[in-house]
Every structure is written in C-alpha cells, then in structure tokens.
Structure 1
Amino acid sequence: MTGQYYIEDSILLSQEQVDDLIELDSGRITTASQGPLQTLFDLNDKIVSQLANHCARNKVDTALPLCITVTALSPLTGKLG
C-alpha cells in the first residue's frame, strides 16, 4: 500500500435517473478518530449494511440506490479540504 487513494471519474446521471434515486441515510464524519484506512472501512461497512437492509425491506425488482456522495477530507485527517 502506497498511502495514496484514488477516486474514479464521476458518472453523470440524467435528471430521470436522479429522480429514481432514493436517500437511505445521510450522515457526516467530521473527525477521523481512528486511522484513515479504518475510517474508510467503517464507512464502507455502513454503506453495505444500509444496502443490505434496503434489499431486505423491498421487492427484488426494486432498483438499488447506486449514487453515494462522499465529501473528501484532506488528506483524510478530519479537516475539511
């Protein structure tokens, strides 16, 4: 591991696709009380848990929410960039 993190290019959605999205939960991580990598693992676990709960509550043919917005901290230290 080099200590560098990369984010893929943004995927642009049409207004119709945006209208189909639902908000499962919104929250804010303002401090990284643990190491940056552990904080990312915790965030990933929360996202996966919310998606699993969404699938369990809804029909199989319900579209999954695939738009996840994260405000990056610079450089994952708990200070806004």
Structure 2
Amino acid sequence: MEWDTPIEFAPVILMFHDPDRLLSVRTAIGAANALMKEFPCDDGEEFLAAIKICLDVVKGSAEPGELRAAIIRAADEAGITAIAVLH
C-alpha cells in the first residue's frame, strides 16, 4: 500500500481549543498529517499508538477502522474534542 492510495474510514471531526479550527480526518494520510502537524502534544501513549496504527494501515497490517478508533483515543488524551461521524 502506498501513502497516496486513499485508505478511507468514516470521518472524525477534530475540534481544537480555537472554536474556528476544525479538521475532518477520513484517510490514513489525513490522520498522519493531523497527528504530526495539528496535535498539541506528541508524547502520549495513545498518540504514539495512533502513529503506529497509521503506519500499520498503510502497510496493510491493520484495518482503517482501527486507525479511526486510535485517532479518537489520541484526541481524548490530548484534550481535543472528536466528533465521530457515521454514514
């Protein structure tokens, strides 16, 4: 699996402390970007687990749904509101 291959999951909307700052995450590359560029901390247990699962999804050894759940847990750990959108 390549980074530019769309690996999608049901969207998660991240609401940061600034009410005008929202981010919708629905792909593995979007998850990687959100984790590396947008999260306020990068040393939490759930954050690190989400990074690992992100790589595992790209390699094909984990399911996109696992990454979605990991993003929600990492957001909770970082104090970011995560709204799980279901289709």
TM-score by length of 1: 0.30
Higher RCO (CA < 8 A, seq sep 6+): 2
Question: Whose radius of gyration is greater, 1 or 2?
Answer: 1
When you count strand as a share of all residues, which structure comes out higher? 2
TM-score by length of 2: 0.29
